[in-house]
Amino acid sequence: MDNQFLFMLAKLLFVVVALISVVPIMLWVERRGAALMQNRLGPNRAGPFGLLQALADMIKFFWKEDGVPGHVRAVPYLCAPLVSLAPAFMTFAVIPFAGNIIFNNEVFEFQVAHLDVGFLYIFAIASLGVYGIVMAGWASQSAYAMMGALRSASQLMSYELPMGLSVIGVILAAGSFQLQDIVALQSQELFHIGSLSIPKLGIFIQPLGFLIFLTCAFAETNRLPFDLAEGESELIAGYHIEYGAMKFAMFMMAEYINMTTASGLIATLYFGGFQLLPGMHTVLDLIHLTGFEGDCLRAGFQMLSFGLKIAFFMWFFVWVRWTLPRFRYDQLMDLGWKVLMPLAMVNIALTVMLVVYKVI
């Protein structure tokens, strides 16, 4: 077995473990954050600051009776959690999480799959996630679940389009579908004020595209204010109303992993991906390692800064959830088709002009 193969296995393991371990952390952050924003304290009994609450939840999920209700269509009912969980893991494959390192004249990439179609792959797989929801709703043989699934499907239709269109701006600016190239583009200098250099971050060259993408990311991950598929107040729990124990937990895991991927994408496209946070360059210069060790240290710092960026957006998801109320269904459709679609078109037209006249 050569080094590349071993490294690939290590990467796979790292990404999967990292994605799974996001779930208990986010469960805690979500519950604790929600509580503090609502002037409560939240879970604080299990372990320091309630940190072991997620462990307690896990034990509960595993030991609960895992019943299948009598009225469901068994096969799609049992498949649905898997179908929604698998794409959630798959999308992260093309997101680069650190720069390349060179060992024995071989280049090692911190990206599970180096695909030239990077972006198209993400959109293709991310929209598969909705199949899990539709299957769950259809197999549950329950009106609430069916309504949730239908809403989720039509929501996907109306938000996938502006999402794809909003990203075209970044792709035009970078001239590549490759996420590595998009990250590389964002390390260039846009302009400088004195000695302060402002990099070409996506947020600076595509502010409108960023807003559209952010809105669509919320809709794509079925998070508030667009969580119509769940809609606690009108659909009780929507598509997962008939699910319990670990099967329900799998839907939750899928939701949080989708959130991670969406945050990773936002960070990669608009906030420089794994580019070091301001100040980290100084630290690296102070330590001053060269060669392979220096590369490894840099990769570690890049992973850290990418992780911090993801963490901020995960927190942003939670923050928005407890700030904005849920949209009414027709308002959601209006926003998707009548506002975001035309805006995304305008954004493309503007970007094309800017690219043609070599402004960005």
Partner 1 sequence: MLLSKKKGFFTRIYIVEIIQGLAITLKNFFFSRKVTIQYPEERRAYSDRFRGLHYIKATNGVENCTACMLCPTVCPAECIHIEAGEQADKEKYPVRFEIDLLRCCFCGMCEEACPKDAIKLSAIYEMATHSREVLRKDMLLEQRGNK
Stretch that binds partner 1, among 88-96, 148-156, 170-178, 316-324 (CB under 8 A): 316-324
- Nearer to partner 1 by Cβ, of 211 and 245: the residue is 211
User: Would you count residue 41 as binding partner 1 (CB under 8 A)?
Assistant: yes
User: Would you count residue 197 as binding partner 1 (CB under 8 A)?
Assistant: no
Residue whose tokens read 């309630």: 50
Q: Looking at 38, 100, 197, 331, which residue binds partner 1 (CB under 8 A)?
A: 38
Distance of CA 333 to the CA centre of its chain: 22
Q: Which of residues 323-342 bind partner 1 (CB under 8 A)?
A: 323-324
User: Would you count residue 211 as binding partner 1 (CB under 8 A)?
Assistant: yes
Q: Looking at 8, 37, 78, 245, which residue binds partner 1 (CB under 8 A)?
A: 37
Of how many residues is the chain composed? 360
- Nearer to partner 1 by Cβ, of 45 and 288: the residue is 45
Q: Looking at 319, 329, 337, 354, which residue binds partner 1 (CB under 8 A)?
A: 319
User: Would you count residue 13 as binding partner 1 (CB under 8 A)?
Assistant: no
Q: What angle do CA 344, 262, 204 make, to 5 degrees?
A: 50
Give the torsion sign (CA, 62, 66, 72, 74).
positive
- CA torsion 117-118-120-126 (nearest 10°) is 150
String of DSSP letters for 12-60: HHHHHHHHHHHHHHHHHHHHHHHHHHTT---S-SSSGGGTTHHHHHHHH
Stretch that binds partner 1, among 36-44, 47-55, 68-76, 117-125 (CB under 8 A): 36-44
User: Would you count residue 39 as binding partner 1 (CB under 8 A)?
Assistant: yes
User: Would you count residue 322 as binding partner 1 (CB under 8 A)?
Assistant: yes
Q: What share of the chain is helix, strand, coil (3-state, %, to 5)?
A: 70, 5, 25
- Nearer to partner 1 by Cβ, of 14 and 319: the residue is 319
CB 226 within 8 A of CB 332: yes
Q: How many residues bind partner 1 (CB under 8 A)?
A: 14
Q: CA 159 to CA 146: how far, in whole Å?
A: 20
For the bound state, the minimum distance from the C-beta of residue 358 to partner 1, rounded and expressed in Å, comes to 30
Which residues form the interface with partner 1 (CB under 8 A)?
33, 35-41, 211, 319-320, 322-324
